Amino acid sequence: MIYLTRKCEFSASHYYYNPAFTAEENQRIFGKCANLNGHGHNYTLEVTVKGEVDPRTGFVVDLKELKEILIREVLEALDHRHLNKEVPEFATAIPTTENLAIAIWNRLERKLNVAKLHRVRVYELPDLFVDFYGEP
């Protein structure tokens, strides 16, 4: 089994606000992220796929295909977007890095037939990242 990781970057804005909480609760739980005017990040995404090496090509996955899927399914939907307002997954869910990793996993898993998805890692900042392995 070989693991291959592809890295890419995207930039997006968001805010954290749960309408089920009071304004004070939102402020206490989410702090500066609760500002409804939003703020943004440069995200770094690492997608790791796994599989056996094809003896004819020496590849675990065709990187061109993986890159095209990443661009079409993830970057076009998220890059230079407002996550709360433009990405359907966050019409109700809070666009935290945890939920972003889960959303990216779900977008990729249903389109990725060239290899098996192993891990989605999303860096919100150089000192903060979330890993999602598709665990329930």
Partner 1 sequence: MKAHLTRRYIFSASHRLHSDELSEEQNHATYGKCNNPYGHGHNYALEVTVSGQVNPQTGMVCDLADLDETVRREVLERFDHENLNVRQEFASAVPTTENLSAAIFNILQQNFTTAHLEKVRLEETMMNSFEYSG
* Whether the Cβ atoms of residue 101 and residue 131 lie closer than 8 Å to each other: yes
Work out whether 126 is an interface residue with partner 1 (CB under 8 A).
yes
Cβ neighbours of residue 41 under 8 Å, at least 6 residues apart?
11, 12, 14, 124, 125
14 as an active site residue: the answer is: no
Work out whether 43 is an interface residue with partner 1 (CB under 8 A).
no
Work out whether 19 is an interface residue with partner 1 (CB under 8 A).
no
135 as an active site residue: the answer is: no
33 as an active site residue: the answer is: yes
Using the structure block, give the residue that is written with the tokens 């009071």: 22
Interatomic CA distance for residues 133 and 136, integer angstroms: 9
Work out whether 29 is an interface residue with partner 1 (CB under 8 A).
yes
Q: Which residues of this protein are in contact with partner 1, per CB under 8 A?
A: 16, 18, 20-21, 29-31, 93-99, 101-102, 126-133, 135-136
